[in-house]
Amino acid sequence: MSKIFVAGIGAVSPSGWNVAALRAALGKGEPLPTQPMVRPGWEKPLQTRQVPSPPVRPEFLAHPRLRRTSPITHYAAAAALEAVANLRANPAAKNLRLGIVVCLQSGCVQYSCRFYDETLKNPATASPLVFPETVYAAPTSHVAALLENVVLAYSLVGDPSSFLQGVALAAEWLAENRVDACLVIGAEETNWIIADALWHLDRRAIVAAGAGALCLCRDSKLSAGVELAAITDAHTFSARLDRTQAAQAMRAQLGKSSPGELLCDGIGDSPRTDDAERAAWSDWPGQRVSPKKILGEGLMAAAAWQCVAACDAVAEKNVASAYVSLVGSNQQAIGARFVRADFDLSTATSEGNIRP
Amino acid sequence: MLFPPTPLPATPPRVVVTGAGIVTALGLGWKLNAEGFRAGRRAFRPVTQFDVSRQRVKVAAEVDLPKDFPATKLNRRQLERLDRAGKMLVLAAQEAWRQAGWESAENLPLVLGTTAGGMLLGEAYYRQALHQPAHQRQQATRAVHYQPQVQARMVLDALGFSGPITIISNACASGCNAVGHAFDLIRSGQAERVVAGGYDALGEMVFSGFDSLQALSPTVCRPFDAKRDGLALGEGAAVVNLETLDSARRRGAEILGEIIGYGTSIDGHHLTQPHPQGNTTLTVMKQACANAGVTAEEIDYINAHGTGTPLNDSSEAHAISEWAGSRAATLPVSSTKASIGHLLGGAGAVEAVVCLMTLREQWLPPEIEFETPDPACKFPIVKNSQDTRVNVVLSNSFGFGGVNAALILRRWA
């Protein structure tokens, strides 16, 4: 089995349009301000955390394929370009065969609502320019067109935990030499209907938008100093395995930890939703960061932010290894561990745990 | 662990199909569908599921769901929450499961392709939130159950197994990618058995979308015909149970066919239009053949993506003609979308099951409305029902966004 490294990371979040902004927001540790979102028929708006306008219009928006795209594609493209920036600057990485896995939960909701609204009013005037942008695969297609050398692409839909299934799929493509590098992107956009739906399920959650991206590679020389050490099984929720049990099964597979390590968890502001994950990690002895508390419920983007934050902490040499815990909303629990690329993996145990 | 994965086996195992379930407008189950496809029956009728009075086109291939849903392990409340797409999915999965003779299992992967999942629930949610915002009844349930992974969990619960769920949404290639991904999971040693399939239900938004693009045929869907003027929409689901040959033999299972090759790639040409010369189609057909260890000479039939739109069929015809070379002149091709419409995320899986039918029963599905071939077609279109020897078949699927996929299946004899 070849080793899999992280070649780069990218992020767009309510904190801004790059990893540095994400790092700063998480470092500060204070929830970002919220913005009101009006929903039809209600006097009191819902609260959301939106991605701020970029300080300058991103150059990639001049690409012909991105002219009519909705924010989810902008976020995915920006995170992807940041994650591949080092690869693109490296002459040794020229002509790499690139794969893309884009993970989504809600997907292209802005244009979907717009097009359906047009359909309800009068289908004869519903815009044919908007409809193609409603499909889950649209952002994948646009990012692939932007990056040009993409040979393999999947769009995966699921709850936020499936971001790590996307990472595992990318690792598999790399191990089988189908691609030389592979981007895994988690992206979401918001509108009133998503905020409304989330309100029905969790009154305390604050919906957020953005994207996160990891670029994986096999070649250690292209590594950003981070190696993928483990991804647990997908512990699917069922009548025999509830969320709490699934979270515990995920935690057990990741093995014991030490105080010098970092946990990037998915805990937000909702006791009911967070209980399973809190219980699974109740004995965690080390540092912990909870991006959702700062940035909001970004669904698949939030899962990607957790992974980006974990890799960033390792790449910045703040910690030797970092865990990611994804206890999804209605599908499964999956965890992962990223380590420093120079970490001595010979001490790894059979359960995937690595002694510090 | 998903990573590090199980080491690749020295020799990839052979992957066989031991169960197949299918739901289309031709009927529920293998028998009705085989009869319909063999005769080239067309299943289009005026749309009844939603108002099409202001649409340009008013027909589609709708499924007649059974009034009494067959018994599964779903409880009454779960059954009430199944939408149309979920019902078709569970019906197809149940048929495949019973045919394979599988029993409750842990850690059995489920791979599904869909473009819309439970979009009908999403549409209902939107209408209620917009027009009756104070009326919140059922909204939380809709918000959960429109998500495809929740529908996938219904399949697990209905049949009594558990395992990882993967939902691939590569637009209209999704079903083919799902079966292909399941094939990959077994070949790479990550699973011994996998349930895979695709599904989509007709919905107002998607129907309106294709109508707005003027992609729907106002006359008759005639793939590869020089006078073709668009596609027809359909709905349905198909599920296959895949396992290693060793596993099937250990169980003494009846084998319906073998999957021997899979190729997939992406065409960055345009969001909705294929490359005019079908470059990526050519790539995936070559990939699938290389994967299967067969040449164009050995392919006995192609179940084409063949939507009936001018651009798709021209591009695919170029690719097939170039890929097949001299073989093209005698290579039978047809598109079963002429019978059941385009099933979007379900298409690739349904067409894989149609390929199994041709291999099992030794006939080719015709396009009975086909008249004049497009000049780009260097191959014959199957116009009449044909009983013939079929050993190896290829199935193409392409989607908005540019993902192309091809599967190769072989007769089990």
> Which run of H or of E encompasses A48?
strand A46-49
CB atoms within 10 A of CB B71: 8
Q: The tokens of B180 are what?
A: 């292909």
3-state secondary structure of A80: helix
Q: At A111, is the pLDDT very low, low, confident or very high (cuts 50, 70, 90)?
A: very high
Mean of pLDDT over chain B: 96
Is pLDDT at A354 greater than 90 in this prediction? no
* pLDDT score for A345: 52
Domain A228-341 - what CATH class?
alpha beta
Q: The tokens of A88 are what?
A: 């693109």
Q: Which residues of A are less than 8 Å from B208 in CB distance?
A: 115, 119, 123, 126, 131
Backbone angles phi, psi at A300, to 5 degrees: -65, -35
Low-confidence ranges of chain B (pLDDT < 50): none
Give domain limits for chain B.
15-251, 259-410
A139-190 pLDDT, tens per residue? 999 999 999 999 999 999 999 999 999 999 999 999 999 999 999 999 999 9
Q: At A349, is the pLDDT very low, low, confident or very high (cuts 50, 70, 90)?
A: very low
B15-251: CATH homologous superfamily?
A: Thiolase/Chalcone synthase (3.40.47.10)
Mean of pLDDT over chain A: 94
- CA-based nearest distance A157→chain B, Å: 5
Contacts with B359 (C-beta within 8 Å, 6 or more apart), sequence order: B256, B257, B390, B391, B393, B409, B410, B411, B412
Q: Is-contact B187 B13, C-beta < 8 A? A: yes
- Out of B56, B143, B205, the one facing A197 most closely (by C-beta) is B143
Q: Is-contact A156 A104, C-beta < 8 A? A: yes
In chain A, % of residues over pLDDT 70: 96
Higher pLDDT, A351 or A248: A248
Q: Is-contact B235 B22, C-beta < 8 A? A: no
Contacts with A187 (C-beta within 8 Å, 6 or more apart), sequence order: A72, A73, A75, A76, A79, A102, A103, A104, A139, A210, A211, A212, A300, A301, A304
Whether residue B147 lies within 8 A of chain A, CB to CB, comes out as yes
Higher pLDDT, A220 or A348: A220
Is pLDDT at A351 greater than 60 in this prediction? no
pTM (2 d.p.): 0.97
> How much is the CA Rg of chain A, to the nearest whole Å?
20
Residues of B tagged active-site: 172, 305, 342
Cα dist from B229 to B33, B215, B218, B251, B302, whole Å: 26, 8, 7, 49, 22
Q: The tokens of B50 are what?
A: 């939603």
B49-90 pLDDT, tens per residue? 999 999 999 999 999 999 999 999 999 999 999 999 999 999
Q: Where are the alpha helices (DSSP H) in chain A?
A: 19-28, 71-89, 109-121, 138-147, 162-175, 192-201, 243-254, 271-280, 291-295, 300-315
Residue listed under structure tokens 């002509």: A95
* Closest of B230, B200, B182, B238 to residue B351, by C-alpha: B238
* pLDDT score for A348: 45
- CA-based nearest distance B101→chain A, Å: 22
* pLDDT score for A1: 59
Domain A5-222 - what CATH class?
alpha beta
- Out of A123, A200, A238, the one facing B162 most closely (by C-beta) is A238
Matching fold, domains B15-251 and B259-410: yes
Q: SS3 helix, strand, coil % of chain A, rounded to 5? A: 40, 25, 35
Q: Is-contact A345 A332, C-beta < 8 A? A: no
Chain A contacts in chain B segment 234-263 (CB below 8 A): none
Q: Which residues of A are less than 8 Å from B164 in CB distance?
A: 165, 233-234, 236, 332
* pLDDT score for A335: 98
DSSP B254: P
* ipTM summary value: 0.97
CB atoms within 10 A of CB A94: 9
Q: The tokens of B216 are what?
A: 């729907």
A48-61 pLDDT, tens per residue? 999 999 999 999 99
CB atoms within 10 A of CB A64: 8
* pLDDT score for A93: 85
Give domain limits for chain A.
5-222, 228-341
* pLDDT score for A43: 92
Domain B259-410 - what CATH class?
alpha beta
* Closest of A242, A245, A270, A249 to residue A330, by C-alpha: A242
CB atoms within 10 A of CB A20: 13
